[in-house]
Structure 1
Amino acid sequence: MEIARQDSVDQLERFRSLFEHIDDAILDCTPEGTIVGWNPGAERLLGYSAEEAIGRSIMFLVPLDRQGELESALQILREGGRIEPIETERIRKDGSRIQVSVRPSRIDDRDGTLVGFSGILRDVTERKQVEEALRREVAEREKTEQALRRYQAMIDSAGEAILGIDPDGLIHSWNPGAERIYGYSAQEMVGRNVSHLAPPSKQAEVDEIRARILSGQPARNLETVRQHKDGRLVEISLTVSPVFDELGRVVGNTSLAIDIGARQEAERRWRSVVENAPDIILVADRQHRIRFINKTEHGEPPEALIGMDIFAYIPPEHQDMVRQKVESVFRTGQPVSYETRAVDLEGRQLGWYASRVGPVKRGAEIDAVIMIATNITERKNAERELKRSRSKLRSLSARLQSAQEKERLRIARELHDELGQVLTALKIDLAWLEDRTEEGAQLDRIAAMARLVDTTIGTVRRIATSLRPQLLDDLGPSAAIDWLTQEVCSRSGLHYRFRSNLGEERFEGERGLALFRICQEALTNIVRHAGATRVEVELERQGSQVTLRITDDGRGISEEQATGSESLGLLGLQERVLMLDGSVEIEGWADRGSRITARFPFNPSDTSGAEGFRA
């Protein structure tokens, strides 16, 4: 009995020694959670002395967001369950959080009754940091491996030849692009010297590149040639970059070659086309400096113009317009066209050019414009001659029309003054005879003669009016055109409407007569060709402009009919308008009619002149 008691005392002493000297924190608490045991390890881990901790609730060490976790664990222990170690957090005396592994357990008396809980806390901060560092290292390694796989996939799918070369010039990597450009497989080239790809004439170049690389300097965009497996030369653009180790030492290089044979051939063809083009083709940068020009037309070599400002060859009166056009291309990327004169550096006129300007892009940016200038001096001269010829023809036409109108006026006056007076005298004589003749055959004959004279007088009046309507001179164009519309429509069975805001204002001279003749020609054309049932004529003055508008509901005139050489009436109508500095518009809609609109300038100050209105 005494021996058993001594064994219990020794065991208790060992437990106390373990409790006092273990590095882990050991906490004991009542079933209600009041701390009753606190070892030195707990003081080292959590910062509180035994005097500060014993008697307080275990919850003062637990963060609010972790208290539910501890309550659940204690409830499991109360119900007789077991709890595996939990990795959680506790609060130190200084307020910081510490990551711990907690192993809670239940304390029972000899009867198995719950008398408290015990918990062993171990600091796992360092382990967690190691785990986090390891996790980051694994993630970084995976990221690096993914990047390497992407990089290798890019190398394998690249159209360029990409080689890895060691400091001695031996190839250690060879992508499919290299096989396409040089013809050799990776098995054939890995381990061989890169100089194997260079023809004899380029061996010195290989040595120069190697020396440059060993000095740490890259060789960029070198246009050169290398030898294909089949012996032909391949034109390439070569970039070689040194590869450094962590100490900054050159441990090899990467070679990237682009096959530019097709580009070079395209450039040669393009240059041949450009140099032999009939037009001047130039490229200008954002500062308007010439970077390329294929030729000149006045003796200077093209090279002499490189770097010159394009505006040095444009006369001052055209520079603002050209500048706006060029800047528009830089701003919007949309091509523009314009015509301008060109001058030499002394300001002498060189001729006319039609220019088309478009953008030159580098990537998404516009860094230059291309100009194509066509010499149109001969065309301009021809246009000027044609304009003079048209002016002469128009002047001749005006004189002819004036002569026609004068002749019409003369004939109308002679019909009125001469033939009209004779017919009037004859009618008077017949009336005298009628008064002195008895009834009978002779009286009937005289009456018939009188009726014939009346008919002849009416015919003479109608002919005289058609030659020169007296209404035009007496009451002005509004009344004359109203009468004309009524006459034409009544003879042809057309319904009509006439509207005018001119009142009794009159044109004198050519303008009033031109309005009348234009309306006459338009109405005649409608009657002959339109198949219309209704006509509307409008005469309107708005400010300094007079508008004559004739609309019908016929079959509609086509553009070809309006401008065709066979439409002589419409051509004459247009000429009359143009001679008076007016404009004419002819519109037609299939089966919906046509509209002719003539507009004349009108200066209110001319109301007393021969060419203006008269009240």
Structure 2
Amino acid sequence: MFVNVDPAIAAARYRAIGDSLAEGVVVFDAGGDVLACNARAEAMLGMTEEQMLGRHVDGSCWRLLGEDGAPLPAAKRPDRVSLQTGQVLTGVVIGLQRGDGGIAWLSVSTAPWALDDSPTMAGVVATLLDITEQKLATESLLESEQRFRQAFDNAPVGMAIYSPDGRLLSVNPWLCRMMGYSEAELRTLSPEQCTPPADLARELSLHGQLLRGELSSVSFEKTLICRDGLRLVVRKNLSVVRNALARPVKLIGQIEDISGLKEAQSAAFSRSLVAAQEAERKRIAHELHDEIGQSLTALKITLGRARKVVSEPSAQESLDHAQWIISSLMNEIRGIAHRLRPPELDQLGLTATLRTYLEKTLRAGDVKISFTSDVGDARFSPDIELCCFRVTQEAATNCLRHAAARRFEVELRLESERLSLTIRDDGAGFDLAAQKDSGSLGLIGMRERVKAVGGKLVINSCPRLGTEILARFPIRFFTGVPIAGASS
């Protein structure tokens, strides 16, 4: 059943329907001229329907841009393509330059239309969707991602991006250099290959707290295992990125190598500890010399006077024995005070002090001594001189107590930009690995002392093959005293 409707009423209804649409609609005839548009199209295009009527699809009024921002050639305009080919196009992004200089970004879809069942195309209908806000937001997001990627790639610290399940998604060049791996290699490594078990357990716990929202970011120290087995102490900062639904989508990690800082802190602590020990040694040495030594001297003098007035032979014999005990005790106290803080070190310098010490200490043990020095009377930093003496003292003590050596050699030499102390014996030697496991305080003390003054210590030993100790100190620790000739 067909109802006759007044054409004017039908046109008004279609107009109302078209103006109620959220999309813009522009109708072209088969020749490419505008037949009609709705109110939304007027707002988008910045022209009234009257201004657009009769305008051709190729007209200069349409200042269109491609998605890349370049002027859009007429042959690529979606309305024209549909007119020429009869194709249906959807979602073509174009920009429209407005009269005020702004750009409206549109998603355009075009389709042919025909009258009734006519096979002949009567024109093209174009629907326009304003995507300006989405376009600008997308461009802003891309710019932000580009800035992040640039900062990520050029950061002077290690950077990494992880998935919520802990998979490594991306790393920057700095982290690759730090660990000695390529990015592809790092992606194949398991967490256990890069982190010791104790550190890994703590890191996984913090990782879980981040994902659960208990923490927004964390900062912690850990050990990082590199390709060559080198272990770095790093500070790792982790933060989580969430989507609009507050679900974690990735984690961003910043890894900073603080091994140097830790070594500096350790060296500073060692220096302060050594300084405190030496100050206490000096104080005790002075007290032994000034207080106990003087008291024993006074007691010896008193016993001498008493012997002169006592005629009983047995009493004189007892007094003589008491004086002998006091003399022995005084010698022992002087020896202890000397070992605590040799005064020659401050007065005569390193070479003379080492020679004197070795003669006094090892000659009595029937050990053949060889001392060679090419630094003459040169004076060095007090810390360096004291460190050389203490290392030699510890080595000589170990030689007498444990090594059963027949020969003990000490060399003090200037090499290229460093002071070198080499100590060797032909004694029993020892197992280095076993000594490390036992936590030998003597060896630990040597290492800490040398490290505290910026030097390096190497110990070589093997059972029945003797021991060699190499200590090297940077030349920056030298004082301004000229280097004299060699002595031996």
TM-score w.r.t. the length of structure 1 is: 0.38
Larger Cα-atom Rg:
1
More RCO (CA 8 Å, sep 6+): 2
Q: How does the TM-score come out when normalised to structure 2?
A: 0.47
